[in-house]
Amino acid sequence: MLEWLVVYVCMGVAGTWLARRYALHRALIDQPGERRSHSVATPRGGGISIVIALLVATVALGIRQPTQAPLLLAFGTGLLLVAGIGWIDDHRPLSPWWRLAVHVLAAGLFALAVGDLHSSFTWAVCAFVATLVLTNVWNFMDGIDGLAASQALLAAVGLSAWAGGAWGWLALALAAACAGFLPFNFPRARIFMGDVGSGALGYALGALVAVSAVRLEGRAALVLLPVSVFLVDATLTLARRILRGERWWSPHTQHAYQAWARRAGHISVTVAYALVSLVVIICAWALAFRGGAFITGITIAWYTCCTFFWLGLQKKYAGAVS
């Protein structure tokens, strides 16, 4: 199976190169603006390469491990739905409510499959929430060079240790495809992943979180650690925009990472986020053999620290938080 990871890296590289040529030919270009964090016109849609690699991995794993085929089929169908609506949106902007409706459908399909496989309504709800939330979190947080892809790579590697079997390999396939995409997106972005990529990454990670949580059972809080940096920034920023009565679904540059990047630059922020996530993932692996109550307490403590970190960044780089 290790040789397949090389294949997925190559698919990421070749697919992104082709996507960039296509985007330039079709004039799919993100222009700089007040609601964007980049200063140079850049083609979008490169995330299609990651989607294709993931779909190939899903089919291959479904064939090799038929017991997981129904769940992998539901995952692949949902991935196609999320990536498909994102691909359309990259070509001509759609209403956010249409995108959300498709995301709900995709999350629902996967949740039904999880609930049926494990005969558990609770795990079905968890799967629905995880896939729907992370689909949109990764879409919200895809705003500076290399950030969304590097965080997805690290989170996928982190979750691979707990997902097990076909899903562990799927997580590594996701990481490999992101590794193939990243040279085009960091340290200087020559193409953005677009909605086709950001939404699909979030959906895939949501599915991995759900599957990993089922396997960990009483230690399920661990799965929240690899995605904590993104989840806190996105959730708190969204909550603040809602409380302020703003159009929370519209593009903006109010995330903590965006405020920080305006002062420190994209490279510094992406590397800093990656280092924090790497340390958290290593600690999470070390905690895997501890009791559920201890793990839950550590997870709550870490999320509290992230909250204060978010507040500190907002106060320092974006003015006082109201």
Per-residue pLDDT of 184-230, as tens digits, reads 999 999 999 999 999 999 999 999 999 999 999 899 999 999 999 99
Query: Which tens digits make up the pLDDT trace of 235-260?
Result: 999 999 998 888 877 778 889 999 89
CA distance 171 to 175: 6
CA distance 271 to 255: 17
Q: How far is CA 215 from the centre of its chain?
A: 21
170 and 203 in contact (C-beta within 8 Å)? no
pLDDT-derived band at 124 (thresholds 50, 70, 90) equals very high
Predicted pLDDT at 320: 42
What does the DSSP 8-state code read for residue 249? T
Phi, psi of 93 (to 5 degrees): -55, 135
Unique residue bearing structure tokens 């992230």: 306
Domain ranges of the chain: 2-318
30 bridge partner residues: 42
